[in-house]
Structures are given as structure tokens and as C-alpha cells.
Amino acid sequence: MQLEQTIRAELAQPGKDILLMTHIVLGYPSLAVNRQVIKQMVANGVELIEMQIPFSEPMADGPTIVRANQEALEAGTTVKECLAFAAEMAREHDTTFLFMTYFNILYRYGVEAFFRKAKEIGIKGFIIPDLPPEEEEEFWQLARQYEIPPILIYAPTSTAQRMQELAASAEGFIYCVARKGVTGKQTDFDASFADYMARCRRSTTLPLAVGFGISCREDITFLTGHADIGVIGTATINLVDAQGPEAVGPFIAGLR
């Protein structure tokens, strides 16, 4: 599918040893702030942006992103607004946008209707962390039909067999969780992490993204050579909370 080709083309450019993927929660603290943040991310070289449609029970997320989901919903953010905002961003910015959410959002909207709308908007991939490939056969069929890759997730606890099973259904890239647990907590990189990434490499030919606890230039430097994409999520949300959206550009510019 096109997403993998886009990633490989970006990695082939001179000086691009690792790509950056950022994560925002739509509607937190507002769509207006999301708009400012995305503009700065794109201007400072982010290659992929993961837009999370807020959900009431974001089971893979840590306290910061859970709070962002809750506050976005309390402020009245709707799926319809998120789709309209995503369409606006895809029209205005030449970067790769993905949707991250939970399967209930698609189920309530209508799975095929959601795929159809995402294709129309220009979304390049879905990250649905609560949907394994053994469930909801319609979703996987529609992913092929609409050519929107399902991004699957490896964890340090994944066995070699499970990694191979996931790789058989994955497209675009594999999202490698850097450690056990939820998003937000700082990750320690050690010999066991290197072993884990080597297992990930052996299991698939797809590009590898690493997220959960990636928060600074030193983390991205360490990941270079182990991963193809470094994922920054909670760190940018905390930065906007503490310093405002104007702080995002310099932060992103300093990561590589």
C-alpha cells in the first residue's frame, strides 16, 4: 500500500536516518490549538501525524492522553467535527495523516462509512489498538478494499510467533511499543530494548515505528539505527499545556 512506499521514499532522502511521527488528541485543548500545533509540526519537518479521535475509554493511553480525551469529549468534540478537521488539515498540509482511535468509534459511525470518509479525506492509515486481526473480519476486508493500512502493534511481551502472525495482517509499518504499560511514562533504553528491536526486525520487512515514552533528542538519537520512525506523543501535549502551542515548533526542530 502507499503508506509503506511513502515512508521508504522519505527514508531514502539524504540525511533522513529516522522519521518523526507526532500524536495529537483532536479537540484538546481545542481544534483551534490543534490547528496551530499541526502547522508548527509540519513546518519543522514531521513526516507523519497521528490524529486521535477522542474516546471515553482509551485503554492504551497513559494519564496525560486519557485526560486529553476526557476534556475533549467534555468540551463537546464530536466524530463529525474530527473528520471535518482532518479533511481541512489534509488539504492544507503536505504530510502523512493517520487516524488513531478505538474500534467503538468506527462501529458506532459505521465501519464502511468510516473507511469511505477517511479515504475521501486522504487519511493514510488507521491505528486501532483494541482490534486484533482475529476479530471484526469486515474491518480487515475494508482496509484492503479502501487501501487504508491497518497499523498493528508489537510489545516487548510479544512472542516471535505472535509477531509473525501480526506481520501477516499489517500494512504500512509496525508500531513497536517501547515498554510494557501505557503511554507517557519515560522509557529506559538498555540491552533488552536492543534485543527486542532485533526481534521486531526479524519478524517483518515493514518499517518500524517506536513509541511510548519518547520525549527528547537523546531518545531519537538512540532510536536511530534501531527504528525507522520515532513517535512523540505525550511530550508535545505536556509542552502545549505548560508553554502554549508556540513552543511546539522549536521542540520538534530540536529532536533531530
pLDDT at 180 over 50: no
pLDDT at 18 over 90: yes
From the CB of residue 84, how many other CB atoms can be counted at a distance below 10 Å? 14
* Predicted local distance difference test score (pLDDT) of residue 10: 96
The span from the CA of 58 to the CA of 41, in Å, is 24
Rounded to 5°, angle at Cα 133 from 21 and 189: 40
* Predicted local distance difference test score (pLDDT) of residue 192: 84
Where exactly are the structural domains of the chain? 17-253
| Of 4, 10, 61, 219, catalytic | 61
Q: What is the mean pLDDT of residues 223-231?
A: 94
- 8, 207 in Cβ contact below 8 A? yes
What does R_g of the chain's alpha carbons equal in angstroms?
Answer: 17
pLDDT at 107 over 60: yes
61 catalytically annotated: yes
Q: Where does the pLDDT of residue 184 fall: very low under 50, low under 70, confident under 90, or very high at 90 and above?
A: very low
* Predicted local distance difference test score (pLDDT) of residue 111: 97
For 46-81, write each residue's pLDDT tens digit: 999 999 999 998 887 889 999 999 999 999 999 999
Q: What is the mean pLDDT of residues 152-174?
A: 94
pLDDT at 185 over 80: no
For 21-34, write each residue's pLDDT tens digit: 999 999 999 999 99
The crossing angle, in degrees rounded to 10, of helices 111-121 and 137-146 is: 20
Q: Where does the pLDDT of residue 220 fall: very low under 50, low under 70, confident under 90, or very high at 90 and above?
A: very high
| DSSP conformation letters of 53-100 | PP-S--TT--HHHHHHHHHHHHTT--HHHHHHHHHHHHHH--SEEEEE
57 catalytically annotated: no
Q: What are phi and psi of 25, to 5 degrees?
A: -100, 115
- 135, 167 in Cβ contact below 8 A? no
* Predicted local distance difference test score (pLDDT) of residue 179: 57
Q: From the options 3.20.20.70, 3.40.30.10, 3.40.50.150, 3.40.50.920, give the CATH code of 17-253.
A: 3.20.20.70
| Of 47, 50, 171, 219, catalytic | 50
Q: What is the mean pLDDT of residues 173-184?
A: 69
Q: Is 1 exposed, middle or buried (0-12, 13-18, 19+ CB in 10 A)?
A: middle
The span from the CA of 254 to the CA of 166, in Å, is 34
From the CB of residue 218, how many other CB atoms can be counted at a distance below 10 Å? 11
Torsion of CA 92, 114, 64, 61, to 10 degrees: -130
